[in-house]
Amino acid sequence: MVGTIFNSMVIWIAMRYIDTEDKPRQIIVINMTMADLLMCVFYMMTRPWVSSFPNFFCHPYYMTIWTCQLVSCLNLVWLNVDKLVYIQFPLHYYSIVSRVRMLRISTATWLAMFAITVALALTMSANDGCIRLQLNPYLYLSIPLLYVVMIVTSFTLSAIIYCIAQTSTKLESRARSKLFHRLFFLFSSTLWTFFTCLPYRFLYLMGFFCMTCVADSRFRWVTDQFFRLLVVGIVINPLITIWTQRVYRVRVLRLFGKMQKKASESDMLTSVRRLSEKPFEETVPLNTTNRVNI
């Protein structure tokens, strides 16, 4: 529920307040957030009832989950490529990167990842609702391999960007500090994805090739813990976006400020209403000793 709320908040702010003509890279952020939002809605909020799903629902269910995960990882790669272009060609950035090109890349990303999941779903069959799946193991192996390749690629590009920014002799200290401030969202998102997603994917691949590892209870326990961390990562992603990008942080703070102001005004009206409804109490008793002689 928390992930759904904050991902929805990020998308609402982006659609309402951000000009993607001026900031085309925000299209990548919107796509990443949309993929995480769909994961929260289709996976996290429906997981307790997966066993009761009809079999015909299993194919679109898992196709949506796989597509969203792949799209999120690939958009992180595009975000790193965008920043690399910005670092290497700052004067020609807007001639290379535009809103139209970003929209084309985003559309191609969703279609390509969806095509991969369709090919995988054609070999899938489900039992016990949508819990137990049967599919071609060698074909499914392409999915975790894609995860690992995309996450490692993002981390490598971030490392290259960091080295370029750190060793640049053309920038003064103040300009370099401002540049790293702009890169903070990229580095935070990449590192968070690297440490929350990669371990589980790597352990899954390790279990695929090492059957004795799967038989070890300690290996299964570690894999389960990293899977939980992967799920938490999807919830934390929008918080990183809000925390590291000023346009989202300012809007969220204003929203919470308005909500707090309305709550305080409501409390004040309630207290005033209670005072007005309080019965009148006579402070001076009306008896014969208090009467004024006329």
For residues 76 and 29, what is the distance between their CA atoms, to the nearest angstrom?
Answer: 8
Beta strand pairing status for 125-127 and 132-134? antiparallel
Note the pLDDT of residue 155.
92
Domain ranges of the chain: 2-259
User: With a threshold of 0.95, does the pTM exceed it?
Assistant: no
Residue-wise pLDDT for 220-250, tens only, equals 888 888 888 887 878 888 888 888 888 888 8
For residues 268 and 282, what is the distance between their CA atoms, to the nearest angstrom?
Answer: 26
Q: What is the mean pLDDT of the chain?
A: 79
For residues 72 and 136, what is the distance between their CA atoms, to the nearest angstrom?
Answer: 24
As a whole number of Å, the CA-based R_g of the chain is: 27
Residue-wise pLDDT for 176-220, tens only, equals 667 777 788 888 888 888 888 888 888 888 877 777 777 778 888
The residue that leads in pLDDT, 140 or 262, is 140
Diameter over CA atoms, the chain: 109
For residues 130 and 42, what is the distance between their CA atoms, to the nearest angstrom?
Answer: 13
Using an 8 Å Cβ cutoff, are 146 and 155 in contact? no
Q: Which two tokens stand for residue 7?
A: 């991902």
Q: 213, exposed or middle or buried, with CB in 10 Å at 0-12, 13-18, 19+? A: middle
The residue that leads in pLDDT, 157 or 251, is 157
For every residue of 49-79, DSSP letters joined together read GGGGS-HHHHHHHHHHHHHHHHHHHHHHHHH
Note the pLDDT of residue 262.
65
Residue-wise pLDDT for 28-40, tens only, equals 999 999 998 888 8
State the fold for domain 2-259. Rhopdopsin 7-helix transmembrane proteins (1.20.1070)
